[in-house]
Every structure is written in C-alpha cells, then in structure tokens.
Amino acid sequence: MGAMRLSSAPDRDDARALATLHAALDAGVTLLDTADAYCRDAGETGHNERLIARALATWKGDASRVRVATKGGLTRPGGRWVADGRARHLAAACAASRKALGVERISLYQLHAPDPRTSLATSVRALAALQRDGLVEQIGLCNVSLGALREALDLAPIAAVQVELSPWHDASLRGGLVELCAERGLLLLAHRPLGGAENRRRLLNDPALAAVAERHGASPADVVLAWLRSLSEVIVPLPGPARPETARTLSRALSLSSEDLASLDARFPAARMMRVPRAQRRPPDDAPGDVVLVMGTAGAGKSTRAAELVADGYERLNRDETGGRLGGLLPALEEHLAMGRRKVVLDNTYLSRASRNAVVETAWAHGVPVRCIWLQMSLEEAQVNVVQRMLARHGRLLGPEEMKRAARDDPGVIAPGVLFRHRRELGPPEPSEGFARVDVVPFVRQPRPDYDGRAVVFWYDGVVRTSRGGARTPLSPDDVALVPGAREWLARQRDEGWRLCGVSWHPEVASETMRAEDVEAVFSRTHELLGLEIEHVWCPHGDGPPVCWCRKPLPGLGVVLIERHRLDPARCVSIGRDSSDRAFARALGFTYRDAADVFRSTPDPVR
C-alpha cells in the first residue's frame, strides 16, 4: 500500500489515516510505502512516516511481518517538491526517517527522484554508503529512466525501482524498464496503479475491465491490480486508499483466467512486452516493407527528410497534419499496414523510448521491420533553425503570448522552454529498441552563397556604454556614458567596411519602469555620442526563465540580423563581456572577442 494520500490530501485526518492503515494491515498488507516528503510542507517533514510508526505500534497484529519502504531526496519548501540528491542531505534524511519510523535500520530506502543539480552517481553512492553502514537493508530508486537504472546498477546493488505504472500509463513497460527489472530480479513498485484521480472515470467505465469484473463479482480496481501482478512476479502495485472501507478491499486476490488476460491484453497491448518474447514479436530485418521513424528535436529537419522519403514512394504520417497526440497516429499506421501499404515514414518528435516502442510494436504486429533515422543536432543549432522558421513564416520574432496563439495553427512555432524540455527528455535511439537499423545523421549547416555580408555585432551595456548612475543600463539620455576606447574602435571598423549592429535587453519595459520610447531615446543618445550609425535590436521581455527568443544567450536577435542583411556568420564578430555573450556568439557561429581585449589593443576584429 502507498500511504502518501494519508498526509497530502487536503482533507486529511490523522485518526482516519490510522484507521485506514489498520484496515489495510488487517486485510493482509505487508508492505507500506512512505517518504519523508509526504507532508504538506517542510515544517512537517516526516509526517507520513510518523503516522505509519504509530499505526504499527498500535496495531494488534504481528508488526514484524510488515516491511516499510521509505524515501529521501525530495524536500517541500513552501509546499513545493524540490529534489536534493546530495550525499549529505541523503545521510541526514535517512537519520531523520529512522527516527520518525522508530527503527534502527530501514527495510528499503529509495532515492525519491533524481536531482538535476547532483549527479545520479553521487546519489547512488550515498545510498550504498548507508547500506554499508547498516542503516538500511536494501536500496532503491524512484522515477528513473531505463538509462539511469542501468547506470545505477553498475554502481550499487539496487533492489527495487518505483515508477508509475497503470493501464493508462505504460511508459515503463514500453520503455523497457519493467523488462529489465524482471531480467535482474528487481522489485518493481508500481505507484498510481489505478491511474490516479484523472483516470477514475476511465477505470469505472472501461468495458473490458467491467466485463472481467462482472465475471468475478469484483470491482474494476480489483481487476487492474490483478492484471498488473500477472505481468511479472516482480511487479508490486501500490494502491493508495485514503479510507478504511477502501483499504479493506486490498485483501481481494483475483485469479484471472486465460480468457480474462486475453481480453485485457487486447485492451492494453503494452502487456505483450511481458507476455510474448521479443524473438516471437520481431519480424526479420529483411522482411517486406519498411516503416521509418525520423526522430530528432524540434528544428532538426525531420520534415525535410520525410519529404525525401515521400518522393521515394513512402507515405507520411505526421501529427502536425492530422492533429491530436502521437498515440493518435497508431490507428492510421495500423490501417496502412493492414491494407498492404508497407512503406511508411513518421516524422514526429519521438523523445522517449516508450513513444518509439508503440510504433515499433505496431509495425511488428504486421510483420514489418522498423528503422530509425536519428537527426543529431546541438541545442544551439536547433534554436537557430526554430528562429529561422519563425522569421520565414511570420516575418519577425513573436513575443511570448504571440507564440502561444500562433502555435495553435502553426506547430512550427516553438517557445524556448519547449526546446529545452525536448533536449532534457530526449533519449537517443538504440538498436536494442528493436530497430533493424539506426542511421545517425549529424546536422551540417549548408552555406548560403548569397549570404556573404560581414558585421560587428556588439552588446551595448557594459561593452560600449554604461550608466552614470550605476544602473544596469542607462535609464535616460543624460545617464549614458561611453566605455573608453569604444567609439574609436567602432569607427575604425566602420571605415574598414564592417556593418555595425548592436544588441541589448531592456526588461524595464516589461516591468513598466521604462517605456519603449524611453529606451529608444537612450539609444539615440548613445549613437550621438558614438558619432556612428548603428542598427540596434533589443529585447523588451522580463527576467526569469526564457520565454522569448530575443534575450541572450538565445540567438533570436542575431538570426534577425543575419537574415535582414544576409550575413555570413563565419565573417561576423561578436563583442561581449561575459559567458552569455560567448554562448550567443557560439550559437550563431560568430567569432567571439572580449570587449576588454578588443578596445585595448586590437585595431581590427578579424585577422
């Protein structure tokens, strides 16, 4: 049983929670899953663990037969969930959990979630140290990918993995994680096995579940739990009852017939991953037909590669054209293959192994092999491509709200956060997924012969001008002061035939402490003092996580200048002063020069 809701539910009640735990124990539950973070906020860390300790202490049964699994590595500042996988935090959290549970040694101690700021290896080694010191009996991981589990298994004796698994959330099945756990004999703790509150209606109204439930005089929930257990002996569902009457039903142990399993497996086909050996599911790599999965992040050129295949006689299935979700393409693929149309290309953002598996299994069911074309591209290259596409289709950089509206009709409009998420979640394709072949195609930006212009692109604030009053940027024309040497150096570049372009950021417009016309007045004064004609572009959006393409180090404004003046990035120089300026130049392919060095000694930006 998972005990989270007993501490996190808005209407929680400790007396009812204790009664629920006692009812579950009376029903035969022998594993209770908890965590120090199962509470409302950091002020009551360990609330759920203390509840379980009280329940076991006051239960009339044999508490020695009950295992308690707990977790560390998540904190609750202000009620938020924040990962902390540092070794010192896990050691302190384990000590606090032992105290809250009233035990000398924890039966199973799990890393609650990977910490993006701490290497997984550091966290896993910290768990292993706790085990070596005798403070925990076994160690496990929660909410990890297949790759992370593989890494951890090379570092420590992982005994259990906890992930979400239900008929409506089968990513751990399709992604190979359950299969690996079964191969290695690792306990697979399935949280949210009934799909959570958002799937309650589906649970109650699913016809396949209802039919099996009726045959057994049971509930659909009972059927789901029995079906999950039938997939592998390593799977342990963790239902989370919040009331005694619900907890009492946990003792029901259905025995599903072969007819029941066939019906449920047809309804939830990811079960084939565990029921049928891969060798029986996979067709020969040289079997007739060819389903091609073109994958890569947004902006990687998937549509271009798909068009080439269409010209060779393939039929294209793309979510941007049909609408809906990725899963919605599977019936169309099924229909094509059933009709004997066995050359199909799908060019969508298949980030995960699980999303790709659905395509692979659908093709295999029709005896068709699958190959993958992986368009490799750096994040910076993808950013430039996304901005170029926006300029080509909309004529300018769109603001945050404009992007949201435009994306409804133009899937090619992508916000920075989406691309960052793609990069974060992207799992490189592997032959082990069942591909007949994985063709890796590195991105190479092709030169454009008519783009031969050159420019000096500089950052204004702190590079060519400062604020007399010490502000981040001049706040008025009278506040502008030039950086020594900037005027003379820029004039020399102008005389040498370089185009001069400046880039800046003015969040004061978003915060309404300056108006756009005030910003332009400051630019006018800057150019007057420089005595030069300079094309300037600037970002008016606020600070915080990037929501626009025009704030450095994102390359939006640089791409605007390239397209407007047909610049050759290899002939352009970017002048800046910090790491964000370097990143801006790197994304665009500009040569970077530090302002302090340039203005002091260099007569020409490129030699």
| pLDDT value at 423 more than 90 | no
| pLDDT value at 432 more than 80 | yes
* Residue 529's CATH number: 3.40.50.1000
CA distance 437 to 408: 35
Domain end call among 384, 418, 442: 442
Do 437 and 557 fall within a single domain?
no
| pLDDT value at 463 more than 90 | yes
Candidate from 81-90, 264-273, 592-601 with smallest mean pLDDT: 592-601
Domain end call among 105, 130, 164: 164
CA distance 543 to 541: 7
* pTM for this predicted structure: 0.84
Q: Which domain holds residue 83?
A: 5-164
Reduced to 3 states (helix: H, G, I; strand: E, B; else coil), residue 579 is helix
Structural domain contains residue 472: yes
Do 545 and 475 fall within a single domain?
yes
Structural domain contains residue 450: no
Please tell me the total count of domains within the chain.
3
Do 413 and 510 fall within a single domain?
no
* Residue 288's CATH number: 3.40.50.300
Percent helix, percent strand, percent coil in the chain, to nearest 5? 45, 15, 35
Backbone angles phi, psi at 31, to 5 degrees: -135, 125
Do 418 and 533 fall within a single domain?
no
pLDDT of residue 605: 45
Structural domain contains residue 486: yes
Residue 257: other Cβ atoms inside 10 A: 12
| pLDDT value at 404 more than 70 | yes
| pLDDT value at 172 more than 60 | yes
Do 319 and 434 fall within a single domain?
yes
Do 384 and 472 fall within a single domain?
no
| pLDDT value at 408 more than 90 | no
Higher pLDDT, 111 or 326: 111
pLDDT of residue 607: 37
For residues 535-562, give the mean pLDDT.
96
pLDDT of residue 425: 86
* Residue 135's CATH number: 3.20.20.100
* pLDDT tens profile 473-489: 999 999 999 999 999 99
* pLDDT tens profile 217-270: 999 999 999 999 999 999 999 999 999 999 998 878 799 999 999 999 999 999
Do 78 and 124 fall within a single domain?
yes
CA distance 18 to 243: 9
Structural domain contains residue 191: no
Do 472 and 382 fall within a single domain?
no
Structural domain contains residue 104: yes
Do 128 and 21 fall within a single domain?
yes
Structural domain contains residue 145: yes
Do 433 and 338 fall within a single domain?
yes
Do 364 and 508 fall within a single domain?
no
Do 95 and 33 fall within a single domain?
yes
Structural domain contains residue 239: no
Cβ neighbours for 371, distance < 8 A, ≥ 6 positions apart: 290, 291, 292, 293, 435, 436, 437, 438, 439
| pLDDT value at 324 more than 80 | no
Q: What is the mean pLDDT of the chain?
A: 95
Domain end call among 105, 133, 164: 164
For residues 195-200, give the mean pLDDT.
92
Structural domain contains residue 384: yes
| pLDDT value at 295 more than 80 | yes
Question: What is the secondary structure of 419-431 as a DSSP string?
Answer: HHHHHHH-----G
